[in-house]
Structure 1
Amino acid sequence: MIELEHLTKRYGEKLAVDGLTFTVRPGVVTGFLGPNGSGKSTTMRMMLGLDKPSSGEVRIDGKRYIDLKEPLRYIGGLLEARGVHPGRSAHNHLLCLAQSNEISPSRVNEVLDIVGLTSVAHKRSKGFSLGMGQRLGIAGALLGDPQVLLFDEPVNGLDPEGIHWIRNLIRDLADQGRTVFVSSHLMSEMALTADHLIVIGQGRLLADTTMADFITHNAHSFVRIRTPQPERLIAVLSAEGIGWDRGDEGSFEVSDVPAEQLGELAARHRLVLHELSPQRASLEEAFMRMTATSVEYHAHTPSENNGTASAGAPGAPPGAEPGSGPGSSGWGAHRKRGEGR
């Protein structure tokens, strides 16, 4: 278990981490999200004793990192995969780590096999690709067979097979009852991997919740309906007091009513449906909405720089129209409010 209590870090006048308090529990994969500059890397460095907090503390299974006699046996971390002497082979790099923590040399071959580097174990790391270096960093994190693991951008540089492998590895580690803390900007991967989320912005805690609750409370899910009898559908929904929105391609979008209930309603009224499909909100959508006011670095498209994007909301994707930005009260440019709302 990892426990943070009022963890704070200042660099001069810059407040990088602002009083973070949360717990990372064993048996689940906890995702760590935040925009660039939000303090994620600084927080993880303090967890591993690489940066000293200005105030507050981090405890690993009840102990400070500095008090761990053989830290790799307690916590394994991947923060910077390229932090390897280029003249050392993968085997010798891991062997040095093992010897410094009184880990059996036989464990070196075990983790090289786990990460798929056995065939290049005695090659110098300077010739490794980004993906191979990433696998070596993961091997270092696993070396002490620790109960607590931290991974910062673990899929960086991996090919599709490697991404599938690390996803399954992380899930398996959590299923073994270990504490697994993963930071990533790849929302699609985080959505497939994490059970719980810690979200920060500008160094402050924004959310500490399950994946399902985070998406439910920060993004929009609805049921899409298409019918050749649109006027009858409007009449039926209005009679039931059910609100609706116009969607694209002549569809209707209904929120807060299960698809099953809508299907039964259509059947009772002999209403022909060509589509009745639940549309689930994405983690990316929920993340963008929650962190919209916490983004420190805003990029702009060339059209915005030329002053031609005034119709779109600030921070909206290229081509977006009014009402489609993360901070907008509308849901999309194509939507029009229904009379039944």
Structure 2
Amino acid sequence: MIEVSGLTKRYGEKVAVHGLSFHVSPGIVTGFLGPNGAGKSTTMRMMLDLDHPTTGRVRIDGKRYAELREPLKYVGALLDAKALHGGRSAYHHLLCLAQSNGIPASRVGEVLDVVGLTAVANKRSKNFSLGMGQRLGIAAALLGDPEILMFDEPVNGLDPEGIHWIRNLMKSLAAQGRTVFVSSHLMSEMALTADHLVVIGQGRLLADTSMAEFIRTNSRSYVRLRSPQQEQLLDVLHRAGITAVTAGHGALEVDGVGAEELGELAARHQIVLHELSPQQASLEEAFMQLTAESVEYHAHAQPTEWRT
């Protein structure tokens, strides 16, 4: 369990994190979302005592990270995969971490196998690709077999197979009852991985809710219908007190009425339907809706005269 209470971080006049409070529960994957500059990395660094909060506190199973003896046995973290000694081999990088935390040397080979780096265990990490560096960082996070895992942009540099692997790994760790906290800008991947979301903007908490509730609350859901008898369908809907909006390609859109009810209504009036489909916004659309006013850096379309 991770508990964040009233966390604030100031850098001079700038407030990077403002009164942030939330908790990360075991047994599920909790996604950590926010626009660039929202304060995600600063928050994760404060969780690990790499930065000290101006006010507020973070407790990991009731203790500050700095109070944990042999912390890799409690918390495994990937914040910056490049933060390693490039002259060391993958094996010796992990061995140094293991020895400093009372972890058996045999565990090094185990985690190298888990992340698929056994074949390059004796190669210097400075020659690793970005994806291989990510795998080594994940191996370091797993080294102490911790109950709490934190990943910042874990899919950076990974190929499709690697992305599929890390997604299943995080789900598996959560299914074992571990606490898994992951930050990512890849909304499509987060939608497939996270069960719960913590969303911040400009350092403030915007949402702390389940994935399903987040999308439902921050987006429009509706049912799309298409019929060769559109005029009759519109008349039936109108008489039932249901408002339909015409959309492209001969479709109608209805808010606030379930697909089952609409299908049964059409069937009672012998109206043929070519489409009856519930529509729900994606995580990305819901995220953009919620954070629109919290984006610090806005890009604009290239002026016409610049285009070639």
Residue identity opposite 1:51 in structure 2: D
- Which position in structure 1 is the counterpart of 2:298? 298
Residue identity opposite 1:143 in structure 2: L
Instruction: Tell me the TM-score normalized by structure 1.
Output: 0.88
Report the secondary structure of 2:156's partner residue: coil
Q: Which gives a bigger RCO, structure 1 or 2 (Cα 8 Å, sep 6+)?
A: 2
- Which position in structure 2 is the counterpart of 1:205? 205
Aligned partners of 1:203 and 1:304: how far apart in 2? 35
Q: 1:303: Cα distance to partner?
A: 3.4
* TM superposition outliers: structure 1 runs of 4+ over 4 Å: none
Aligned partners of 1:248 and 1:129: how far apart in 2? 46
Distance of aligned partners of 1:239 and 1:176 in 2 relative to their CA distance in 1, 3 Å threshold:
same
Aligned partners of 1:177 and 1:92: how far apart in 2? 30
* 1:198-246 deviation digits (Å, cap 9, x = unpaired): 0000000000000000000101111111111111111011111111112
Residue identity opposite 1:216 in structure 2: R
Report the secondary structure of 2:225's partner residue: strand
- Which position in structure 2 is the counterpart of 1:54? 54
Q: 1:305: Cα distance to partner?
A: 9.1
* 1:272-304 deviation digits (Å, cap 9, x = unpaired): 111111112110010000000000000111038
- Which position in structure 1 is the counterpart of 2:164? 164
Kindly report which structure 2 residues correspond to 1:215-254, keeping only aligned pairs within 5 A, or say none. 215-254=215-254
Report the secondary structure of 1:6's partner residue: strand
Report the secondary structure of 2:303's partner residue: helix
Report the secondary structure of 1:16's partner residue: strand
Aligned partners of 1:52 and 1:277: how far apart in 2? 50
Distance of aligned partners of 1:305 and 1:293 in 2 relative to their CA distance in 1, 3 Å threshold:
farther
Aligned partners of 2:82 and 2:221: how far apart in 1? 41
Q: 1:42: Cα distance to partner?
A: 0.2
Aligned partners of 2:304 and 2:186: how far apart in 1? 25
Q: Which has the higher helix share?
A: 2
- Which position in structure 2 is the counterpart of 1:337? none
- Which position in structure 2 is the counterpart of 1:174? 174
Unaligned runs of 5+ in 2: none
- Which position in structure 2 is the counterpart of 1:66? 66
Residue identity opposite 1:144 in structure 2: G
Report the secondary structure of 1:300's partner residue: coil
Aligned partners of 1:291 and 1:300: how far apart in 2? 17
Aligned partners of 1:276 and 1:301: how far apart in 2? 36
* 1:109-132 deviation digits (Å, cap 9, x = unpaired): 000000000000000011111100
Distance of aligned partners of 1:146 and 1:251 in 2 relative to their CA distance in 1, 3 Å threshold:
same
Q: 1:256: Cα distance to partner?
A: 1.6
Report the secondary structure of 1:270's partner residue: coil
Computed over aligned residues only, the root mean square deviation of the Cα atoms, in angstroms, reads 1.0
Residue identity opposite 1:148 in structure 2: I
